Amino acid sequence: MRRKRTNKKENLLPPIVGSRPLIAILGRPNVGKSTLFNRLVGAKLAIVEDRPGVTRDRLYADTDIWGKPVTIADMGGFEANPEGDVEVGISKQCLTGLGQADLVLFVVDGRIPPTNGDHDTVSLLRRSGRPAILVINKVDGEGYEPDATELFSLGLDPSVMVSSLHGRRFSDLEDLIYAALPEATEPLEPEVNDEDVCRVAVIGRPNAGKSSLVNRIIGEERLLTLDQPGTTRDPVDTYFESKGKKYVLVDTAGLRRKRSIPGAGPEKLAVSAAIQSMDRCHVCVLMIDTAGEVAEQDAKILGLATERNRAVVIALNKWDLVDKDNDAKKRATQRVEDILSFVPWAKVVKISAVTGSGIDRLIQRVDEAFGEFGKRVGTSAVNKLFEDLIDHHPPPMRKGKITKLYYATQVSTRPPTFVVQANFPEAIHFSYERYVQNRIREAFGFDGTPVRVIFRKRKRRGDPAS
């Protein structure tokens, strides 16, 4: 009897590794691991492109196999004998993921005979003692099966021929996974309420130290870090807890100027994914390399975050490299103030992701910004402020008529949003809106978060519904 398939969808939260069986996807570059990952999860979470080396960090997602909760880990292309810093770093990440796994899906390309690297990987799996399934991928139809049988010589059992792209024989694969999963010996940890979790997107230019910061905070080489731009491709969600508070850190690809990014390729997809990550976070931490030149691109990235009405904390990274040079400190500080002056409400923290200096202070600032991002002010207090505001600085007149502000209230949080009813909302100039925002901040705080003020036409009885 076929087990019931549940609807799969992208989770708002990343998994808590260890709370449910972990399935690691292992294989050489470009064998279709990310396509397999996306198919199992039921959402396009991993960047997929027909070239090797697109996936670099471990990417986790929660899903279920025939109703049994699991965590799937997509990993970079594994080389048994890697060459080059990137390949060595990716293989190290894969070995870490293998050490966490309860089950391994070893993926090979059904159109290519087994390689020496495939045999070496099978030997590694046997030594690890991890249960494994041989997934012969890219077998898009029965006509491809005879050529793929040579891969059975790897001697890994059980095995299955599939097409991750088309979903061919995926039910057979899921049957094998279900049978190989360990029985739960402890109850799963309760699901984390998204309202309780502060989602933090770490953004910035390439090589600003974003992945190093995430690794430092969680105390693990969770992300690949190299002294070259473009190391991170997929946005990688990492859950952690500190002092009873819950966070999700989202490491994103470095954002370069548009003309520096090729018209097509994984970097363009990674940049798009990084921008989308801002939309689903609460706080953006803008990483700036103060040991280098603070650039206009930093301001543009900050602009992307403020356009999306996200709370912001600015982290001046590598401060340890300029801390003992007074001239360098002055130049960096002045440059930051000049370029980022349009967001005076954002807090600035001086840190070193390498030494850990300032990290506790950074987390404190993130907590404060998250709190202000969700703060609500009572209507009576808001209207009292507006009465005083109008007395000291009334809104501009419209064609000789007085512009009246009747009633104000905070209608939502994340970000804090205020609606003001007026007789002539079209007469409110941007400068007056900025004045109102500043007065709201003076009265109620809201440090670290944008404040939206919307002026609307006051409705009278008998007015048609809009």
Burial class (CB in 10 A: 0-12, 13-18, 19+), 425: middle
Chain length of the chain: 466
Q: Contact 270/47 with Cβ under 8 angstroms?
A: yes
What predicted TM-score, i.e. pTM, was given to this entire model? Answer: 0.61
CA dihedral for 420, 423, 426, 429, sign (positive or negative): negative
Q: How far apart are CA 317 and CA 254, in angstroms?
A: 14
What's the mean pLDDT in 382-402?
91
Whether 232 has a pLDDT exceeding 80, the answer reads: no
Report the CATH number of the 22-180 domain: 3.40.50.300
Of all helices (H) and strands (E), which one includes residue 37? helix 33-41
**Domain segments of the chain as ranges:** 22-180, 194-372, 379-457
At residue 58, the pLDDT reads 58
Neighbours of 146 (CB within 10 A): 8
Whether 460 has a pLDDT exceeding 70, the answer reads: no
Fold equal for 22-180 and 194-372: yes
At residue 332, the pLDDT reads 87
Chain segment 87-138, per-residue pLDDT in tens: 556 566 666 667 778 899 999 999 999 988 888 888 888 888 889 999 999 9
Q: How far apart are CA 216 and CA 83, in angstroms?
A: 26
Q: Sheet harboring 405-412: ordered strands across?
A: 405-412, 417-422, 452-457
At residue 463, the pLDDT reads 54
Q: How far apart are CA 231 and CA 142, in angstroms?
A: 39
Q: Which DSSP letter does residue 163 get? A: B
At 238, is the pLDDT very low, low, confident or very high (cuts 50, 70, 90)? Answer: confident
At 14, is the pLDDT very low, low, confident or very high (cuts 50, 70, 90)? Answer: very low
Pick 407 or 82 by higher pLDDT. 407
Chain segment 324-383, per-residue pLDDT in tens: 888 888 888 888 888 888 999 999 999 999 899 999 999 999 999 999 999 999 999 999
Whether 426 has a pLDDT exceeding 60, the answer reads: yes
Q: How far apart are CA 42 and CA 193, in angstroms?
A: 21
At residue 360, the pLDDT reads 93
Q: Which CATH architecture has domain 379-457?
A: 2-Layer Sandwich (3.30)
At residue 51, the pLDDT reads 40
What's the mean pLDDT in 289-318?
89
- The verdict on whether omega for the bond into residue 206 sits within 30 degrees of 0, i.e. cis, is no
At residue 47, the pLDDT reads 42
Q: How far apart are CA 428 and CA 205, in angstroms?
A: 37
- Looking up tokens 């600032």, which residue turns up? 365
Q: Contact 282/311 with Cβ under 8 angstroms?
A: yes
Q: Contact 153/116 with Cβ under 8 angstroms?
A: no
Structure-block tokens of residue 315 = 């982290």
At residue 440, the pLDDT reads 96
Of all helices (H) and strands (E), which one includes residue 299? helix 296-307
Whether 300 has a pLDDT exceeding 50, the answer reads: yes
Q: How far apart are CA 461 and CA 157, in angstroms?
A: 75
For residue 73, the SS3 value is: strand
At residue 64, the pLDDT reads 85
Of all helices (H) and strands (E), which one includes residue 60? strand 59-65
Q: How far is CA 373 from the centre of its chain?
A: 18
Of all helices (H) and strands (E), which one includes residue 330? helix 326-339
Whether 465 has a pLDDT exceeding 70, the answer reads: no
Q: Sheet harboring 59-65: ordered strands across?
A: 59-65, 68-74, 22-27, 103-109, 132-137, 159-161
Maximal C-alpha separation, the chain = 89
Of all helices (H) and strands (E), which one includes residue 350? strand 347-350
Chain segment 50-101, per-residue pLDDT in tens: 444 434 445 777 788 888 888 888 877 676 666 555 555 656 666 666 777 8
At residue 3, the pLDDT reads 47
Q: Which residues contact 348 (CB under 8 A, 6 or more apart)?
A: 313, 314, 316, 336
Lowest-confidence pick of 104-113, 378-387, 392-401, 453-462:
453-462
For residue 218, the SS3 value is: helix
Q: How far apart are CA 104 and CA 22, in angstroms?
A: 9
Q: Which DSSP letter does residue 194 get? A: G
Q: How far apart are CA 359 and CA 362, in angstroms?
A: 5
Superfamily of domain 194-372: P-loop containing nucleotide triphosphate hydrolases (3.40.50.300)
Whether 195 has a pLDDT exceeding 50, the answer reads: yes
